[in-house]
Amino acid sequence: MRRQFDDVLLGSIELFCLAAELGSFTAAATAAGVTPAAVSRSVARLEERMGVRLFVRTTRQIRLTDVGRAYFEECQQALTQLIEAERMATGQQVRPIGTLRISVPTTYAHYRLLPWLPEFRERHPEVQLDIHVSNRNVDFSDEGFDLAIRVRTPADSTLIVRHLEDAELVMVATPEYLARRGTPATLDDLNRHECIQFDLPSSGRRIPWLFQDQGKDIDFTGDGGYVLSEDVLGGVTLARHGAGLFQTYRFIVEDDLRSGRLVTVLPAFGGRSRPFSLLYPHSRHVPLRVRSFIDFLVDKVS
């Protein structure tokens, strides 16, 4: 392997990151114990090497360019990995540190993950959490994610898949809706009801409702005046306001069921679930912050 960086260049990268983080050459110089001129020369050295401007400079302040911000984020992550590698090699990595970037769908975020995170931060205060709440599949390498939680596991051999839980599905409606339209007794009865539907944003494919009838799995696609996409929680909101029937995860509506705001429909045909999994890239060295979060999450759902 040919050497790419000398000691001066690595030092320049560290000073650049300090200046970007603190928003000032002077503050970076004070933190590093060097002069502001040394910080300025280091940044100029990097800009000359790459042929790009990293900062917009005025007499009063500095501001990262778009290229500079992207370079800063990559360099910051690389420096953190170097620190962790050194601690691992010397046996000194006794606590997790750094930024943990997580992608999680809206359902699991609001009703599972987000309420648990203060406890994780209480245990590991030096880990900063960057949480991307979206139903969109992410690219680990291009977007810099450490972990993702998903219902449907992508066919990607570069990812490790760790099962979290099988989330039970229930169909619900308000007592007022059922009083108005009647309570279904069979699956065929659903054809005479307002069935709130959800389309996958990635493909436009309608998500079927999952039932069991005498041990046989049945997938049902209903019809009605409401079709949602992007955020499946919209279906729960519609059901809570009496719009119709909706199938969702029990953990989302358990408080509604307990209070009587919603009731289960066709419970005799229940019993199906969907699996949630934790995904992360294959790596010879998994950072301690990632391992600590995996252990924490698995413990919460076990």
pLDDT digits (tens, 9 = 90+) for 82-106: 877 776 665 555 678 889 999 999 9
Determine phi and psi for 299, rounding to 5 degrees: -65, -35
**Mean per-residue pLDDT, 212-220:** 94
Q: Is the pLDDT of residue 1 over 70?
A: no
Instruction: Over range 173-192, report the average pLDDT.
Output: 96
Q: So what's the pLDDT on residue 35? A: 92
Which residue from 40, 142, 159, 147 is spatially nearest to 102, judged by alpha carbons? 147
Asked whether 245 and 172 are in contact (CB, 8 A), the reply is yes
Phi-psi region of 215 (alpha: psi -120 to 50; beta: other; left: phi over 0): left
Q: What pLDDT is recorded for position 163?
A: 92
Interatomic CA distance for residues 171 and 218, integer angstroms: 14
**Per-residue confidence (pLDDT) for residue 288, from 0 to 100:** 85
Contact status, residue 108 vs residue 152, Cβ threshold 8 Å: no
Instruction: Compute the average pLDDT of residues 200-211.
Output: 87
- Quote the DSSP letter at residue 112: I
pLDDT score recorded for residue 91:
54
Residue 161 contacts residue 294 (beta carbons within 8 Å): no
Burial class (CB in 10 A: 0-12, 13-18, 19+), 169: middle
Residue 272 confidence (pLDDT) above 70: yes
Q: Is the pLDDT of residue 267 over 90?
A: yes
Q: What is the mean pLDDT of the chain?
A: 90
Residue 193 DSSP symbol = S
What is d(CA 11, CA 33) in angstroms, rounded to the nearest whole number?
A: 13
Q: Which residue has the higher pLDDT, 152 or 176?
A: 176
User: With pLDDT > 70 as the criterion, what percentage of the chain qualifies?
Assistant: 94
**Does the pLDDT at position 119 exceed 80?**
yes
- CA 268 to chain CA centroid, Å, is 34
Identify the pLDDT of residue 222. 84
User: What is the Cα–Cα distance from 101 to 76, expressed in whole angstroms?
Assistant: 13
Of 80-94, 142-156, 262-276, 279-293, highest mean pLDDT = 262-276
pLDDT at residue number 84: 73
Return the half-sphere exposure (C-beta side, CA atoms, 13 A cut-off) of residue 285.
Answer: 11
* pLDDT value at 172 more than 90: yes
- pLDDT for 156: 67
- Mean pLDDT value across residues 205-232: 92
Residue 257 Cα to chain centre, angstroms: 27
Name which of 81, 71, 269, 62 is nearest 169 in CA terms.
269
Q: Which two tokens stand for residue 43?
A: 């940044």
Best CA proximity match to 278, nearest among 145, 99, 169: 145
Helices (H), the chain: 7-22, 25-32, 36-50, 66-90, 106-108, 114-123, 140-143, 175-181, 233-240, 250-259, 288-301
Distance CA 98, CA 76 (A): 10
Residue indicated by tokens 């009865």: 189
* Mean pLDDT across 68-79: 90
Tens digits of per-residue pLDDT, 220-266? 998 889 999 989 999 999 999 999 999 999 999 999 999 999 999 99
- Encoded tokens for 203: 């493909």
- What are the pLDDT digits (tens) for 22-65? 999 999 999 989 999 999 999 999 999 999 999 998 877 899 99
Task: Kindly tell me if the per-residue pLDDT of 6 is higher than 80.
Answer: no
Q: For position 61, what pLDDT does the model report?
A: 84
The pLDDT, as a whole number, for residue 109 is 96
Model confidence band, residue 5 (pLDDT cutoffs 50, 70, 90) = low
For residue 194, give the amino acid letter: E
